[in-house]
Structure 1
Amino acid sequence: MSTFEQAYSWINLRFLLEGLWVTLEVSVISIVLSFIIGLILGVIRYVKIKYLSAAVGFLIDIIRNLPLLLIIFFTYFGLPELGLRMTPMLAAVTALVVFESAMLAEIVRSGIQAVPVGQMEGARSSGLTYVQAMWHIIMPQALQKMIPPLVSQFISLVKDTSLATIIVLPELLYHAQIIYSQNTTYMVPMYLMIAVMYFIVCYCLSLVARRLEKRYG
């Protein structure tokens, strides 16, 4: 029996799928939370609320220029020193949400700015309040323009979950490491299978993006 056949036994594949499930779970939770928070932060930056927008912009600039791995380390190893302990799952989600929210906030702000100014002026002249104009006129158009960069960022988020293996999150890469640590000849087969699994997930996201672009573009 070849090394690949042994490496891809049902027991090993099932163990990898368990890791993939954790990866997907962390990814979905992080995507939903970071999109909501990023949307709020992006709008705050765009509307230029006195002091608040500047403070949010300063915080976003700091986070965007920090390595994600550093944020993961701080969340899992640093926060306990301040009295806040987290499980690997919660620490990974928290770090990803903090980092991705900052990235998505800039995408949201850029998307809103890409909508012609005349759209807001026309909405206001028709009797809509500023909030109503933003919600019913500006945001739908902005979201259409945001689809490609948003999906690209979500794909990056899925791949970035692999960094959480450093805090012993039982995700896909961590499970693969456990398998080939028992037999080093499985290392190449495991990395190939990981690549295939990540490709399938990320490619499916890109297909969703293309369909959304065709539908709303």
Structure 2
Amino acid sequence: MKDFLDAYSWINIHYLLQGLWITVAVSVVSIIGSYILGSILGIIRYVNIKVVSPVIGLFIDIIRNLPLLLIIFFTYFGLPNLGFRPSSVWATIFAMTIFESTMIAEIVRSGIVAVDPGQMEGARANGLTYGQALYHIILPQAMKKMIPALVSQFISLIKDTSLATIIVLPDLMHNAQIVYGQNSTYILPMFLMIAIMYFIVCYALSVLSRSLERRMG
């Protein structure tokens, strides 16, 4: 029991919180980037632009069927061969953004498809252009349908940042490994604390999404 409590010294907790900050920061930037890019890709695929949409669709299918860890490896170890040398933080953000944007693109496209086609026809009949109808009529309705899937994907993104420990991202998982690497009796208390911290962050996002759903509903 003493070793269990010793694992939660202020020095160790502070070190874990530093890792949690990196995890949250990387997640927030990746979420924003993947949402913007994924929305653009999803809309392009939906509107079916000749040549462009099929190419986008192929890109999405390829990335979605690759392991995220492989993309992380490529950004960190492969990009330097092309003249780019990102830090572990930016390599993770780039990899997560590219991978998650393809997932979000499909969520966005599916959300738009789920809207009654009569909504578009009615908007066009009232004088709106295709772009105006899509932006003002279709997307707001699709967003309500997308929220649960988007939040689920964002929660997965937060948890998947732990994969970047392999490229020495100083995140929560990495810092916990450093702590229990110095004392093997700290393994269980560290895993317990990691679980609590991940739960708090992910649950907070779930609560926020439910609040957003109620407001939009």
Q: Map 1:2-21 onto structure 2 (within 5 A).
A: 2-21=2-21
- 1:83 to partner: Cα distance: 1.8
Partner of 2:179: 179
Runs of 4+ in 1 over 6 A off after TM superposition: none
**Sequence identity percentage:** 67
Partner of 1:132: 132
Partner of 2:159: 159
- 1:146 to partner: Cα distance: 0.2
CA displacement, residues 161-197 of structure 1 (integer Å, 9 cap, x when unaligned): 0001100010000000010111111011101100000
Partner of 2:45: 45
- 1:5 to partner: Cα distance: 1.2
Corresponding letter in the other structure for 1:29: V
CA displacement, residues 64-96 of structure 1 (integer Å, 9 cap, x when unaligned): 000000000011011112221110010000000
Pairwise CA RMSD of aligned residues? 0.8
Partner of 1:97: 97
- 1:214 to partner: Cα distance: 2.1
Partner of 1:189: 189
Say which SS state the counterpart of residue 206 (structure 2) adopts: helix
CA displacement, residues 108-134 of structure 1 (integer Å, 9 cap, x when unaligned): 000000000000000011011111111
Partner of 2:108: 108
Q: Please, what TM-score do these two structures have when normalized by structure 2?
A: 0.98
- 1:3 to partner: Cα distance: 1.2
Corresponding letter in the other structure for 2:174: Y
1:22 & 1:133 partners in 2: Cα distance? 40
- 1:215 to partner: Cα distance: 2.1
Structure 2: which 5+ runs fail to align? none
1:83 & 1:209 partners in 2: Cα distance? 40
Q: Map 1:60-79 onto structure 2 (within 5 A).
A: 60-79=60-79
2:201 & 2:4 partners in 1: Cα distance? 22
Partner of 1:121: 121
Q: Please, what TM-score do these two structures have when normalized by structure 1?
A: 0.98
1:5 & 1:188 partners in 2: Cα distance? 11
Query: How many pairs are equivalent?
Result: 217
Corresponding letter in the other structure for 2:47: V
1:45 & 1:115 partners in 2: Cα distance? 16
